[in-house]
Structure 1
Amino acid sequence: MSGKENGEALPQEQRHGWLSFIKSIASFSGDLSKMTAPSFILSPVSLTDWGEHPETLKPIQTGQSPEERMIAVVRWFIATLKGQYTARNTSMGSEKKPLNPVLGEVFYGSWPDTTGDGELRLTSEQVSHHPPVTAYFLENEKLSVSVEGHSGQKTSFNGHAISVVQVGHAILRAKRPDGSVETYLITLPTLSIDGLWYGSPYIELTGDSYIHSTTGMLAKIHYSGRGYFSGKAHSFHVSMSKTSAPTQSFFEASGVWAGESTITKSPLHAAGTVFWNADAQPRQEVTVKPLEEMGEYESRRLWKTVANGIRSGNYDVASKDKSRIEHEQRALRKQREADGTQHQLKHFELIESDPDYAALSEPCKHQPPTQEGYKFRATP
């Protein structure tokens, strides 16, 4: 057993607090997202993004066939996984819990145009607190590609790992030169947070997720990881087929979503061709405006003191400001209840039955139902 598995990734002074937190999880009944976590296990970020490889969007438009464009969509999706699920582990020594975004929290960012293919812009908003749900909208106007979606979590503990069922979906739309729009429904994988009792938590993706398009293409992505005796961390296998012949794959690739994967079957590529190499493709950091120009509820301004405390190891400061924010949110909720009012969303509108999901979800029926959706709208 490695030193990391023995808990050496966690400083000695934090191990008692960590074990106390794990024991409280073990005795907690209900959705773990309602629990308050100690500051020393928190990441200094809240809302996340899908845009750190903007260059992967262009092939979604330049692909010459529906099959080629579907391969490009799946490659873009795989390229988002490392930043979403292992970046904190890599940069902070072990997995850290993101800050719980508050209701109405927003994040605005962009990836500047460095290749002539257009700027990618992101808007995220926390549209629900209990249960926690984040809505997001990514768009490259020049490429006529956008991603609209939402993600919520249902969290439970099974005695050795935390299971996080991601409830939600994304819709990628690509407006073609002839004016038609290709639509891709993207479902989300389940997360398993392991290594808890050793003080070295890490995320694995489990189960299956799907991408289904209006062009009749279907991709099934199966996730597997490191078991106690065997297996390789962060492994996946993707197979693509036509919806009309779901058992006859025309494309397959496998490998490590946080590292390198290769093509094993393709009408367009030789077997062994690299599908995606997360280690060889540098992440492009999102650009945001200066803190002094941000609104009160923009993520980096709202959590500035907490984030600075976590990064500097001053957890007392981080805890106090985190408690202040949480207290203010409880007071706002009570005030709304007393007034008989509801929180008004700023950038998104709740749709109880998403027509795109309804039209494309049938081959993805193994996923938890997520009929509702959130429609992006311009700033009021």
Structure 2
Amino acid sequence: MVVVQINKEEKKIMLTKPLQLAKESDSEESYRAPNLLQRLLSLFKNVRPGSDLTRFQLPPQFNLPKSQLQCYGESVYCTASDLLSICNKGQSPLDRFISVVAWSISTTRPISFGVAPYNPILGETHHVSKGNLNVLLEQVSHHPPVTALHATDKKENIEITWSQQPVPKFYGTSVEAQVRGKRQLKLLDHGETYEMNSPNLFFRILPVPGADWVGTVDIRCIETGLVAELSYKSGHSFLGLGGSHKVIKGKIFDSSSLKVIYELDGHWDRTVKMKDRENGKVAVIYDATEVITRLQAPILKDEKSVWPTESVHVWSGLSQAIVSKDWEKAREAKQVVEERQRELMRERDSKGENWIPKHFVVSYSKEVGWDCTPIHNYVSAAPIIAL
């Protein structure tokens, strides 16, 4: 993973390559500490099966040099081809729906066993632009961890809003993180709103370590009634051996008539094909090698405009230590960030103040869950530019 380092107020802002399919010599695996599996098993030795791991803290040896906010953002703005523009240019509602399904699959990114990004701090932000697409994320809750995302493209007249709440649980030999929250994509020129959810993260510890996406993703267009059901499967047997990995199977149908139009089959890290139920024709709707390979680290266009809450600024010291494999310095850097957050919380408590997000209006109900509404209609251009 290539690291770009830029001086800022005696700190270094580190801009790393996004997670992608390409297996390179400088991949995220190089950040792992020795004896990874043994260390991981020792972490969970006192954790009971079924436990909620939301508040579980990983030592720096298990961290990638980037925040979870960056990973969420990368899945939207880091693509080698402009799938969002393709969504907008579809001639018919069905053409646009198929393109939205392909775009949704593209947000599924590779994960590595044994390493994870940082848990974002309250109020942390990530602000990046790619072409005409401006993306902004904010950590709007710490316990439970909730992230809000807003992205806009004025040229294509596209808007994206997400809310994400990972709920990881330990099951003895595995960890599964349910990713709660609603994803919404609006093609404003066509008056179409697409709603979808996220698959869950699955980490197998024994007998064969591995990581994958599992679960069901539903994608629906409110106005046209078109629906896609995608089933993500690891493909492993009970013992973690054999089978076909990273599988997607599903269908596209009309919700009013329940008529199946296309059957979907493939792998999210390779290709996904659709078969026309009427004439049997097969076409590739998604090719991962064309979309999530050859991705480059972003660049810093305007150093002075980087907010103090920006992920790469908040975690700069820790990221430097991880890249250098200086684990003692990494532990100290992580403690500095965590203690500062505890100090701010004590200050708010002493004044009787509640923390309020800066970029979103946030509410919660048992019926709806977390609702994160952007304060502004459009996201501004960012000082960090994705290539």
Q: Which TM-score band applies after superposition, normalised by the shorter structure?
A: 0.7 to 0.9
TM-score under structure 1 normalisation?
A: 0.81
Quote the offset at 1:11 in angstroms: 5.5
| Higher RCO (Cα < 8 Å, 6 or more apart) | 2
Larger helix proportion of the pair? 1
Instruction: Give the one of 53, 56, 62 matched to 1:41.
Output: 62
Kindly, what percent of the aligned residue pairs are identical?
25
Paired letter, 2:289: D
Residue equivalent to 2:197: 187
**How far does residue 328 in structure 1 lie from its aligned partner after superposition?**
1.0
Q: Please list, as runs of the form range in 1=range in 2, the aligned pairs for 1:87-98 lying within 5 A after superposition.
A: 88-89=111-112, 94-98=113-117
Q: Is the alpha carbon distance of 1:269 and 1:102 closer, same or farther for their aligned partners in structure 2, counting shifts above 3 Å?
A: farther
Q: Flag the 1:347–1:76 CA change in 2: closer, same or farther, 3 A.
A: same
**What is the match of residue 384 of structure 2?**
none
Whether 1:80 aligns to 2:92 is no
Give 1:274's aligned residue: 284
The amino acid of 2:84's aligned partner reads L
The separation in 1 between residues aligned to 2:33 and 2:344, in whole angstroms, is: 37
> Do structure 1's residue 19 and structure 2's residue 27 form an aligned pair?
no
2:239 is the alignment partner of 1:265? no
Name the structure 1 match of 2:231.
Answer: 222
Matched residue type, 2:61: F
Q: 1 CA distance for matches of 2:280 and 2:361?
A: 42
CA offset at residue 231 of structure 1?
Answer: 2.2
Residue 27 of structure 1 aligns to a residue in which SS? coil
| Contact 1:152 1:168 (8 Å CA) reproduced | yes
Deviates more, 1:285-294 or 1:40-49: 285-294
* Aligned amino acid, residue 373 of structure 1: D
Where does 1:89-238 land on structure 2 (aligned, <5 Å)?
89=112, 94-112=113-131, 119-176=132-189, 181-194=191-204, 196-197=205-206, 201-214=209-222, 215-227=224-236, 228-238=240-250
Aligned to 1:373: 371
The structural deviation recorded for 1:188 is 1.6
Given residue 227 of structure 2, which amino acid in structure 1 is its aligned partner?
L
How far off is 1:33 after superposition?
Answer: 2.0
1:308 and 1:197 map into 2 onto residues whose CA distance is: 31
Secondary structure in 2 aligned to 1:344? coil
From the superposition, tell whether residues 289 and 369 of structure 1 become closer, same or farther in structure 2 (CA, over 3 Å). farther
Normalized per residue, the structure richer in strand is: 2
Distance in structure 2 (CA, Å) of the matches to 1:14 and 1:163: 19
Q: Out of 307, 329, 336, which is 2:348 matched to? A: 336
SS at match of 2:91: coil
Provide TM-score, normalisation by structure 2: 0.80
Counterpart residue type for residue 36 of structure 1:
Q
Instruction: Indicate the RMSD between aligned Cα atoms, in angstroms.
Output: 2.8
What is the distance in 1 between the residues matched to 2:105 and 2:294?
13
Q: Structure 2 CA distance, aligned partners of 1:212 and 1:291? A: 40
Aligned ranges for residues 356-367 of structure 1 at < 5 Å?
none
Deviation at 1:245, TM superposition (A): 2.4
Distance 1:17 1:229 in 2: 23
| 1:19-56 CA-partner distances (Å, limit 9, x unpaired) | 211324x3387421201111111111111212222610
Gaps of 5+ in 1: 1-8, 113-118, 354-367
What is the CA distance between 1:244 and its match in structure 2? 0.7
Structure 1 residue 131: Cα displacement: 0.5
1:167-194 per-residue CA deviation (whole Å, 9 max, x = no partner) reads 1011111112xxx521011112122111
Q: CA deviation at 1:229?
A: 4.0
Equivalent runs, 1:299-310 vs 2, <5 Å: 299-310=311-322
Offset at residue 73 of structure 1 (A):
0.4
